[in-house]
Amino acid sequence: MDAITEKAFIKDDIGKPTTEESPSLLTIILDTNPTLWNQISNKFTLKSMIESLVIAINAHLALNNANQVAVIASHSDGARFFYPYKAKQQHSDQEQQERQDQPITQMENQQDSDGDNRSASPEIVAEKEKTKYVNHQMYRQFRLVDETFIESLFELFNGPIPNKPPQNSLSSSLTLALTYINKQQLLNSVLKARILVVNISPDEHLKYIPVMNSIFAAQKMKIPIDVCQIINDSTFLQQASDATNGVYLHIENLAGLIQYLTTTFFIDPSLRNILITPTSGNIDFRASCFLTGKVVDIGYVCSVCLCILSSIPKDNKCPACDSEFDNHVLMKLKKKPVVVKTKKKKRKLNDTPTPGVTPSPHV
């Protein structure tokens, strides 16, 4: 069983002589939950996180001219792309009437979103210089990515506050990341890909099945999921990185973040067998109960729908698939550990004079 699970990645890429560096796609999933970032704002701010990420993105782009980046925000109201930023195209369509500068913005946005970095005309570059966040003299390849990333981030935070209850959008971010990677790999078959999750949210409210589906899909596609976990430890992301041969790092010293990003999380997937990655060997493989959301280490699994329960349901029915459980088996499960043992002990203490219960040595 081991062969199909953990070792799926290990045999790869060793024997192949690599003549030319193949391009690599780095997909960053950034958790932008505003409440949680606010909670730790005395220690670490989202701004310094962005600064470090931008440096890491630029470094990744600098490694190979054909390298690509995608940034996905996992916000409290859902996931969205920061780069490539398609929503801007539509958004700007609405704004066209107000701004009256239709041709330029439209062209600019199309160029951006295509990810086609080399074909921008000089006018667009001139237009770009007006933007405020990134130094316009920056190397063009970097600037296009950084600008879109930061602009969309500001737009997200300056936009209206959603009235939906906050949720953990990790599942949708992972799904989006995988669909994007799949398409890019279809277009360019030599493209390597990896996902870096910068996560701050705790495990609760996580959509268990979709996240597990995504992990499994990533495992199948041999895409490592690296996890940069800040503040709260996450069980499921540990499992994600373990299943996909990624790196899981729970970072406490946030001042050195840039170093983590450019060293540990920078290792190319093909080199991971050679280098010793800092992933800790102790991994929590516990699952979450479908009913209560609690993390369990010994659970009851419905044989029909495989839903994990922390306790036997009272009505003897599976809460997910509504199938009635076999009473006989339930009795066994309920009875065994607690009741029988204590009774026996009591009997021994009370009943030692009566010979019928326990066979005494002289009988």
Partner 1 sequence: MDESEEEFSDKSLNSDQEDSGIANRTRRKTPSKSDLKGANGGYSWEDEYQRSWDIVKEDEAGSLAGIVSGLVESKKKRVIKNATPFQRGIIRNLILVIDLSTSMLEKDLRPTRHSLTITNAIQFITEFFDQNPISQLGIIVMRNSLAQLVSQVSGNPQEHIDALKSMRKLEPKGDPSLQNALEMARGLLIHVPSHCTREVLIVFGSLLSLDPGNIHKTINSLIEERIRVQIIGLSAQVSVCKKICKRTNFGDENSYKVILNEHHFKDLMMEAVIPLPVNKINKSFTLVKMGFPYRISENSPSFCSCHSKLTYGGYICPNCKSKVCSLPTICPCCNLMLILSTHLARSYHHLIPLKNFEEVPASTNYETQYCYGCQRDFPFNTVTSSRYSCTECKHHFCIDCDVFIHEVIHNCPGCENK
Considering only residues 41 to 100 of the shown chain, the ones binding partner 1 according to CB under 8 A are: 78-79, 81, 84, 86, 89-90
Looking at the Cβ atoms of 52 and 169, the one nearer to partner 1 is: 169
Please check whether residue 227 is in contact with residue 237, taking contact to mean a CB–CB distance below 8 angstroms. yes
Nearest distance in Å: CB 21, partner 1: 24
The phi and psi torsions of 155 (rounded to 5 degrees) equal -60, -40
Nearest distance in Å: CB 304, partner 1: 5
Q: Is 138 in the site for partner 1 (CB under 8 A)?
A: no
Tokens of 323: 């199938």
Nearest distance in Å: CB 137, partner 1: 29
Choose the stretch contacting partner 1; rule: CB under 8 A; options: 17-25, 128-136, 144-152, 216-224.
216-224
Block residue for tokens 């899981």: 248
Nearest distance in Å: CB 349, partner 1: 26
Q: At 200, is the secondary structure helix, strand, or coil?
A: coil
Block residue for tokens 């976990």: 229
Among 40, 217, 251, 258, binds partner 1 (CB under 8 A): 217
Nearest distance in Å: CB 10, partner 1: 14
Can you say whether the dihedral through the CA atoms of 241, 203, 278, 68 is positive or negative? positive
Q: Is 265 in the site for partner 1 (CB under 8 A)?
A: no
Among 15, 282, 338, 349, binds partner 1 (CB under 8 A): 282
Please check whether residue 154 is in contact with residue 132, taking contact to mean a CB–CB distance below 8 angstroms. no
Nearest distance in Å: CB 282, partner 1: 5
Q: Is 134 in the site for partner 1 (CB under 8 A)?
A: no
Q: Is 122 in the site for partner 1 (CB under 8 A)?
A: no
Nearest distance in Å: CB 359, partner 1: 27
Q: Is 246 in the site for partner 1 (CB under 8 A)?
A: no
Site for partner 1 in 100-119 (CB under 8 A): 113
Among 62, 284, 340, 344, binds partner 1 (CB under 8 A): 284
Long-range Cβ pairs for the range 245-252 (8 Å, 24+): 245/8, 245/9, 245/10, 245/269, 245/272, 246/194, 246/195, 246/279, 247/277, 247/278, 247/279, 248/279, 248/280, 248/283, 249/278, 249/279
Q: Is 225 in the site for partner 1 (CB under 8 A)?
A: no
Closest CA to 228 of 42, 31, 62: 31
Choose the stretch contacting partner 1; rule: CB under 8 A; options: 133-141, 155-163, 285-293, 341-349.
285-293
The phi and psi torsions of 309 (rounded to 5 degrees) equal -120, 140
Closest CA to 213 of 168, 183, 243, 189: 243
Total residues found in the chain within this entry:
363
H-helix or E-strand containing 236? helix 235-243
How many residues sit close enough to partner 1 to count as binding (CB under 8 A)? 71
Site for partner 1 in 289-348 (CB under 8 A): 296-306, 308-309, 312, 318, 321, 323-326, 329-330, 333
